[in-house]
Amino acid sequence: MNSQPNNHTTESKDVGSSSSNSSGNNNLPQKKILSDSKFQHSTEPSGALNQVRHRFPDVFQQKGGSYADLPAAKISELMKSSSLDNAPTQSLLSVVNGILEESVERRNGEIPPRVACLLRKVVQEIERRISTQQGHLRTQNNLFKTREEKYQSRIRVLEALASGTNEENIIKEEKSAHDSKPIEKIVIEEKKTKDINHVEKTKEDEKKKEIDREVIRLMKEVEDKNMEKKEIDKEVKRLIKDVEEKNMEKKEIDKEVKRLIKEVEEKNMEISTFKQELEKMKKRYEVQCTKIENIERKDIDKEVEGKNMEKREVDEEIMRLKKEVEEKSMEKKEIDKEVMRLKKEVEEKNVEISTMKQELETMKNRYEEQCSKLKSEAEDVELELKQKSREHEAIMEKLRNKVRESEAIMESKYQKWNMKQNIIQKAVSFQFSSIQKLKLSWESIKQDVVKERMIYKEECNRLGVNLKPLVHAAENYQTVLAENRKLFNELQELKGNIRVYCRIRPFIPGQKEKQSIVERIGESDLVVANPSKQGKEALKTFKFNKIFGPTSTQAEVYDDIQDFIRSVLDGFNVCIFAYGQTGSGKTYTMSGPNGATNESLGVNYRALNDLFNISSSRQSSIVYDIGVQIIEIYNEQVRDLLTTDISVKNWDIESLSTKWFSST
């Protein structure tokens, strides 16, 4: 029993390998078709295959539906040939079904070894097909993945195309940004842009068509995939139906086994009742025997004969009954034996059924797992395909929108260009007319200019005539000026080369008001009272060129000095200095107070202003060099406040007078 299935396993492997070889060396699509045909109960089998497929039902019918009666040679021939490999799965399942039914119903669970080998072979073939199907599903899954990658690469290409259209649009927009160009250039550029736009439009149309074609192809592929998926679903449903049928059969077998057990129990009950009846008859017979012994002898003699007759009859009856009992006991033993055998068989069958149940259960589980896996994979693939198609549609929609947008932009640009062209044409015509006008006005201006030039010439001639006395006068101007200067300075000398002015400052705000010693302020004399002396000596009169009272302004003081500044520029030496005790107002008069305004500026600033003003007014005739020197005289020490040379910083009074007067 053990060696046979092993041999058959080897054979089945050979058959499996030969089938895979016959299905075309690693040619995937051919393999797929062959394996599919096995599971799909092919409706159009080809010649040899068709013959092989019909062998199973033929064998079954020839032997009146009994696999057990098949000759060993035929079974081994079946197993050796490639008929198992080429038979449809439904036939293989029906063979398994038939063998199981036969063993349960007709042979009481007994399966002949040959049929068992056939059964194992068929089951192995079914298992092999399931594993092949699993492999195919994996290959299909890989195919789906490769296709998905292909789709993704196509999507990327489409996206690149879409982004390309965007960039082109951007470039077009950039191009359209150059508006301020000469008119001719603009017209040429416009033509060029139109041509480029036309070419780009045709390119875009081609791209659009290509994308449409691509989308249609992708849709077709998706439809094909859906069809394939539907076929797989059908196959899965069919397999589920098969499994359900097998389950039903198994349930029926269980029912049959239960019925057989019930029958055996009924037989046992019958045997026990028969035993009880036999016991009762034995007891009755013993009672009769005792009765016969107790009857009187008289009656015995009389009745002996009758009784003997009866006894003989009874003996005969007993013998018969004994015989019957023996027969019954023999029968019982046989029944017992039969019951034992049946029990044993039932147990064996139960074990077999339980193993088969387990096998079926595992097969069912595996099958269900595969089914669920296939379902989930198919659902995933469907979802992915749906997702892809949605994405494709979205991308297409986007592309369409972009194309529409770019068309709208192009249209608006075209309209703008047209408007600009019109405006430019109008501007050009307007400029032409204005140029014409300008030409005319230029002609008239030209004539005017010629006229003006003539007039100007005449004027120039007239001016030349008029200028002659003026030139003569200008020639005498310098002599007149020199005479004037001389007269002015002579006047100054007459006024006095050395002039002494007196200025009386007012009381400083916040200073305690005291009695002034100035008794009287005149034009040029001043009376000062000396309270410590009496009489004539109490009042003393001082004379000056002019006296400025406490209410006098800076401008009034400078007004008397201003003429000396003009003398400086005429080449005379002038010295202005202030003299007085501390706090008498020297700095105020010469420079002005801190933060001085135009009104409160002192003599120095005003003199410098005049120097520069007069020199600039005379610059056409005289060039002046103006220098500044600031010195400090303190304790008969003279210090140059502007020089950085330490060696010449300190002078004595003598060197000061030499330097001062030599430089001036």
Q: Which residues are annotated as a binding site for ATP?
A: 580-587
Position 164 contacts ligand ATP (CB under 6 A): no
Interacting residue with ligand ATP among 508, 575, 630, 646 (CB under 6 A) = 508
Interacting residue with ligand ATP among 18, 587, 643, 655 (CB under 6 A) = 587
Give the nearer residue to ligand ATP in terms of CB position, either 2 or 581: 581
Report 169-208 residues binding ligand ATP (CB under 6 A): none
Interacting residue with ligand ATP among 53, 120, 311, 505 (CB under 6 A) = 505
Q: Which of the ranges 414-422, 501-509, 515-523, 627-635 carries the binding residues for ligand ATP, by CB under 6 A?
A: 501-509
Question: CA-to-CA distance for 384 and 390, rounded, in angstroms?
Answer: 10
Give the nearer residue to ligand ATP in terms of CB position, either 67 or 588: 588
Question: CA-to-CA distance for 300 and 306, rounded, in angstroms?
Answer: 9
The string of DSSP letters for 424-441 reads HHHHHHHHHHHHHHHHHH
Give the count of beta carbons closer than 10 Å to the beta carbon of residue 581: 6
Q: Report the nearest approach of ligand ATP to the CB of residue 554 (Å).
A: 8
Q: Which of the ranges 49-57, 118-126, 354-362, 575-583 carries the binding residues for ligand ATP, by CB under 6 A?
A: 575-583
Question: CA-to-CA distance for 470 and 540, rounded, in angstroms?
Answer: 60
Give the count of beta carbons closer than 10 Å to the beta carbon of residue 616: 10
Question: CA-to-CA distance for 292 and 4, rounded, in angstroms?
Answer: 72
Sequence-distant (6+) residues with CB within 8 A of 143 are: none
Give the nearer residue to ligand ATP in terms of CB position, either 588 or 651: 588
Q: Report the nearest approach of ligand ATP to the CB of residue 631 (Å).
A: 16
Q: Which of the ranges 183-191, 264-272, 464-472, 579-587 carries the binding residues for ligand ATP, by CB under 6 A?
A: 579-587
E strand map for 385-531: 501-503, 518-521, 525-529
Q: Report the nearest approach of ligand ATP to the CB of residue 509 (Å).
A: 9
Give the nearer residue to ligand ATP in terms of CB position, either 169 or 552: 552
Give the nearer residue to ligand ATP in terms of CB position, either 54 or 586: 586
Position 588 contacts ligand ATP (CB under 6 A): yes
Give the nearer residue to ligand ATP in terms of CB position, either 581 or 663: 581
Q: How many helices (H) and strands (E) does the chain have?
A: 14, 8
Question: CA-to-CA distance for 571 and 489, rounded, in angstroms?
Answer: 10
Size of the site for ligand ATP (CB under 6 A): 12
Q: Report the nearest approach of ligand ATP to the CB of residue 547 (Å).
A: 13
Question: Which pair of tokens denotes residue 9?
Answer: 């396993």
Give the nearer residue to ligand ATP in terms of CB position, either 238 or 505: 505
Interacting residue with ligand ATP among 224, 522, 583, 658 (CB under 6 A) = 583
Give the nearer residue to ligand ATP in terms of CB position, either 464 or 580: 580
Question: CA-to-CA distance for 125 and 131, rounded, in angstroms?
Answer: 10
Q: Report the nearest approach of ligand ATP to the CB of residue 603 (Å).
A: 12
Q: Is residue 487 classed exposed, middle or buried when 0-12, 13-18 and 19+ CB atoms within 10 A define those classes?
A: exposed
Tokens 């700095």 locate to: 587
Q: List residues bridging with 631 in a β-sheet.
A: 640
**Residue 292 Cα distances to 253, 297, 336, angstroms:** 60, 10, 38
Position 511 contacts ligand ATP (CB under 6 A): no
Give the nearer residue to ligand ATP in terms of CB position, either 541 or 587: 587
Q: Which of the ranges 236-244, 277-285, 351-359, 577-585 carries the binding residues for ligand ATP, by CB under 6 A?
A: 577-585
* Residue, CB closest to ligand ATP: 585
551 within 8 A of 506, measured Cβ to Cβ: yes
Q: Which of the ranges 86-94, 190-198, 456-464, 585-593 carries the binding residues for ligand ATP, by CB under 6 A?
A: 585-593
Closest CA to 377 of 33, 137, 638, 92: 137
Give the nearer residue to ligand ATP in terms of CB position, either 259 or 514: 514
Give the nearer residue to ligand ATP in terms of CB position, either 367 or 605: 605
**Residue 261 Cα distances to 268, 332, 354, angstroms:** 11, 18, 16
Q: Report the nearest approach of ligand ATP to the CB of residue 636 (Å).
A: 17
Phi, psi at 182, each rounded to 5°: -60, 155
Position 593 contacts ligand ATP (CB under 6 A): yes
Q: Which of the ranges 51-59, 201-209, 562-570, 584-592 carries the binding residues for ligand ATP, by CB under 6 A?
A: 584-592
Question: CA-to-CA distance for 360 and 366, rounded, in angstroms?
Answer: 10
Interacting residue with ligand ATP among 506, 541, 598, 658 (CB under 6 A) = 506
Position 507 contacts ligand ATP (CB under 6 A): no
Binding region: 580-587
Give the nearer residue to ligand ATP in terms of CB position, either 45 or 585: 585
Interacting residue with ligand ATP among 329, 584, 604, 609 (CB under 6 A) = 584
Site string for ligand ATP, 533-572 (x = CB under 6 A): ----------------------------------------
Q: Which of the ranges 51-59, 234-242, 500-508, 568-576 carries the binding residues for ligand ATP, by CB under 6 A?
A: 500-508
Interacting residue with ligand ATP among 366, 413, 586, 618 (CB under 6 A) = 586
Give the nearer residue to ligand ATP in terms of CB position, either 53 or 505: 505
Q: Residue 194 half-sphere exposure, CB side, CA atoms within 13 Å? A: 10
Question: CA-to-CA distance for 275 and 269, rounded, in angstroms?
Answer: 10
Q: Residue 289 half-sphere exposure, CB side, CA atoms within 13 Å? A: 10
3-class DSSP assignment, residue 108: coil
Q: Which of the ranges 89-97, 114-122, 484-492, 587-595 carries the binding residues for ligand ATP, by CB under 6 A?
A: 587-595
Site string for ligand ATP, 213-232 (x = CB under 6 A): --------------------
Q: Report the nearest approach of ligand ATP to the CB of residue 553 (Å).
A: 8
Q: Considering just the CA atoms, what is the radius of gyration of the chain in Å?
A: 74
Instruction: Report, in this order, helix, strand and coil percent for the chain, each rounded to 5.
Output: 75, 5, 20
Q: What is the 3-state secondary structure (H, E, C) of 472-499?
A: HHHHHHHHHHHHHHHHHHHHHHHHCCCC
Sequence-distant (6+) residues with CB within 8 A of 401 are: none
- Counting every residue, how long is the chain? 664
Cα 458 to chain centroid distance, Å, stands at: 86
611 DSSP 8-state letter: H
Interacting residue with ligand ATP among 580, 629, 633, 639 (CB under 6 A) = 580
Question: CA-to-CA distance for 608 and 586, rounded, in angstroms?
Answer: 18
**Residue 358 Cα distances to 242, 251, 354, 364, 456, angstroms:** 17, 14, 6, 9, 135
Binding residues for ligand ATP, rule: CB under 6 A, are 505-506, 508, 580, 582-588, 593
